[in-house]
């Protein structure tokens, strides 16, 4: 089957499954709503901040506070895109129609990535503008140094979360097992490693902690991270490449 036919087929699969569409919508709503709420709360608390905290105050990054929960829906989206076919048994039909497994995986990841990026980028801009409106006098402009990079980076970050999840789900093939590993990894293990002094130097190289640097404009006063915004996104991209490569090897070697 030609690559264009594979892409068309994968697009049909994704948009015909309601759960995948709903998870993208949920990612957008949660990210925007929570970002606006945190921004409003930060505006009210600004006058009570210490001088040190004000120097580290990052209006752009604060507006992306909802990303911490929005990425949960992106993880679910990435897992469902891959594992739905395994849970229903349709993977056998798909691989019979597209015997070249590399082409099959490329088509699935490419279509899902394009869709995730479109939603994530719109969400990122909406999150920024609404968040800045909530911050009132403490807001920044999209034209300020580093801000546009951070907003576009927010869309890239959410997209990479989804692609990483696709790679892991391809390796594990089970939606429950994939979510059972990814959720604790991002919401428990990463947080613990990044906030405990003995392990924080390891935690900063995990995909979410490294990738989220792209959304920062103001560097905290006590920051000693050895990479910048694009370096952090590069580290996250490396994790994603490894996950997708692992998924490809697993798909290539195992029976459906």
What is the chain's pLDDT, residue by residue, as a tens digit (256 residues)? 578 888 888 888 888 878 888 999 999 999 999 999 999 999 988 877 777 878 888 999 999 999 989 999 999 999 999 887 877 767 777 777 777 888 888 889 999 999 999 999 999 999 999 999 999 998 999 999 999 999 999 999 999 999 999 999 999 988 899 999 999 999 888 888 888 877 888 889 999 999 999 999 998 877 888 999 999 999 999 999 999 999 999 988 876 5
pTM of the model: 0.92
Give me the phi and psi of 255, to 5 degrees please.
-75, 160
The DSSP code for 226 is S
Counting every residue written for the chain, the total comes to 256
CB 109 within 8 A of CB 170: no
Can you state the angle between helices 147-172 and 175-184, rounded to 10 degrees? 140
């Amino acid at each position: 089957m030609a690559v264009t036919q594979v892409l068309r087929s994968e697009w049909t699969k994704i948009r015909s499954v309601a759960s995948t569409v709903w998870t993208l919508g949920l990612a957008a709503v949660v990210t925007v709503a929570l970002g606006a709420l945190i921004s409003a709360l930060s505006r009210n608390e600004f006058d009570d901040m210490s001088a040190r905290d004000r120097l580290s105050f990052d209006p752009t990054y604060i507006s992306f506070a909802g990303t911490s929960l929005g990425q949960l829906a992106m993880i679910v989206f990435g897992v469902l895109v891959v594992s739905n076919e395994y849970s229903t048994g349709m993977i056998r039909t798909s691989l019979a129609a597209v015997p070249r497994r590399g082409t099959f995986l490329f088509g699935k990841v490419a279509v899902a990535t394009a869709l995730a990026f479109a939603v994530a980028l719109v969400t990122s801009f909406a999150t920024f503008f609404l968040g800045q409106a909530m911050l009132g006098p403490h807001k920044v402009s999209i034209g300020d140094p580093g801000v546009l990079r951070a907003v576009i980076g927010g869309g890239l970050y959410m997209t990479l979360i989804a692609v990483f999840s696709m790679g892991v789900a391809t390796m594990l093939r089970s939606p429950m097992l994939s979510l059972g590993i990814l959720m604790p990894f991002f919401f428990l293990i990463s947080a613990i490693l990044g906030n405990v002094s003995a392990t924080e130097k390891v935690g900063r190289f995990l995909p979410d902690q490294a990738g989220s640097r792209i959304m920062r404009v103001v560097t905290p006063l006590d920051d000693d991270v050895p990479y910048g915004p694009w370096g952090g996104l590069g580290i996250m991209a490396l994790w994603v490449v490894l996950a997708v490569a692992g998924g490809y090897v697993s798909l290539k070697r195992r029976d459906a």
